Amino acid sequence: MWTVRLEDERGKEIKSLKGPFICGYLENQSVNESPFKILKYLDPYGDTTFNILQMDDVISDFELLQKMEECDGSFIQQIIVLAQECKAENHQYLVFVGD
């Protein structure tokens, strides 16, 4: 389970999802066997931060996850929107806070 938020360069929250993002598939994936370029590095127990240079891979991976129907598609779509906003502005970060 992750809290997902868009932050500025100082760590100040710009936007966040209304609830936790829960995806057992991502929480239990093996880094070596993952089909994802970047989501395989999500830490379910710590914070994971992605920057503007990683947003194309983040978006691509979430689109793949959406097709796999392993998690709540409405949350995935909201994360994709946050990732697109992150990609559109410098000095913004997409942060996944593991619980």
First and final C-alpha spacing in the chain: 6
Cβ-contact 50, 58 below 8 angstroms = yes
Amino acid at 70: E
Q: Which SS3 state, helix, strand or coil, does residue 1 take?
A: coil
| Residue 46, token pair as written in the block | 């710590």
Q: What is the pLDDT averaged over residues 25-54?
A: 89
Q: Which residue has the higher pLDDT, 96 or 26?
A: 96
Percent of the chain with pLDDT over 70: 99
Q: What is the pLDDT averaged over residues 11-27?
A: 90
- Find the length of the chain: 99
Would you place residue 92 in the very low, low, confident or very high pLDDT band (cuts 50, 70, 90)? very high
Would you place residue 71 in the very low, low, confident or very high pLDDT band (cuts 50, 70, 90)? confident
pTM higher than 0.85 for the full model?
Answer: yes
Q: What is the pLDDT averaged over residues 40-65?
A: 94
**What is the count of structural domains for the chain?**
1
Range of the domain at 47: 2-98
Instruction: Specify the pLDDT at position 70.
Output: 81
- Give the Cα separation of 26 and 44 in Å (integer): 8
Q: Which SS3 state, helix, strand or coil, does residue 71 take?
A: coil
Tally Cβ neighbours within 10 Å of residue 11: 10
